[in-house]
Amino acid sequence: MKKKWLARLGNVNRELLLIFTIILIAGFINFFLEGQRLVLTLYNLPTLFAGYYFGRRRAVQAALASILIVCWLNLANPAALATAQGPRWHQLMAWSDIAIWSGLLLITAYVTGTLYSLKEQRLRDLREAYNGVLEILSQFIAHDQYTQHHSYRVSVYAAQIARHMGLAEERVEDVRVAALLHDIGKLDVSRNLLYKAARLTDEEIEEMKTHVQKGIARLSPVGGSLRRVLPIILAHHDKFDGTGYRPSRGAEIPLEARIISVADVYDSLVSDRPYRKAMSPFEARDIIVKGSGNDFDPGVVAAFELAFRTQILEVPEVPV
């Protein structure tokens, strides 16, 4: 029962929790310091809601309006906030309380409005990235269905390996997106070269390698959080021992790229290619394990083996 309650509390919107906490704290402070002025807490509500629903600018405007209203109310009817009672020094203390409340209200307006701005920025980033991914993936379907299916399978394998390595869900999502887009540069590579049934010449291999830079060039104009995956895509053909497309090695290669490297090679091995038939999953697994420490990060290979043994490297039907 206790766990269920904790789970529910964890799902509560943190921003709403902050708002209610501020209200409770303000209520207690007003009650213990000056019970008659507890009514001031009610003037916090418009500011909090303005910050949460309309942003920082509206929150500060609401706070200033509330402060002006309270000051006008205190001047017009001092008894309403109990500032007319007692000697003059008591009245000055009451005004100082209002000044402190005004400062705290402005700070609250700024903080709450900032939370709104951050939320909106995240949503804009997600929309930009999502629209960009949709536009790019639509080109896969129209031009190269094999590459689209391969990228989808690699994204599934890579995400499972990343989870087995204990990566945070945000990094797992970066791995998944980068895997979906890692071969986008092949749209600018000759179809004849991609589907050549014989082994590639040295010149053709060099041309094929250009798909990484071409992919980065295609993706660079896309804004938002998608920019985070560009270094991953750029490094997905780098090898752990430094003999890959670029000379980077070991920890110099982003971990997400090291994960995609294993998933990419595994799917290539278990898929039919123009120049050879597919291997069995066990044969492909053995090749991946043999490349540990040279082509692949040993930690990633260990996570891959664990995922392989638990039979979670299974791909659902490719959506088209």
**Residue 264 and residue 182 in contact, taking contact as beta carbons nearer than 8 Å:** yes
Q: Which residue has the tokens 């001031």?
A: 40
C-alpha span between 117 and 298 (Å, rounded): 42
Q: DSSP readout, 24-68?
A: HHHHHHHHHH-GGGGGGGGGHHHHHHHHHHH-HHHHHHHHHHHHH
**Residue 222 and residue 132 in contact, taking contact as beta carbons nearer than 8 Å:** yes
Looking at residue 271, the DSSP 8-state letter turns out to be S
Q: Is 209 a catalytic site residue?
A: no
List CB contacts of 104: < 8 A, sequence separation 6 or more: 26
The two three-digit tokens of residue 77, written as one number: 């009817």
Q: Which member of 2, 119, 186, 277 is catalytic?
A: 186
Considering only CA atoms, which of 232, 227, 271 is closest in space to residue 253? 232
Give the torsion sign (CA, 307, 304, 273, 180). Answer: positive
Catalytic residues, by residue number, are 186
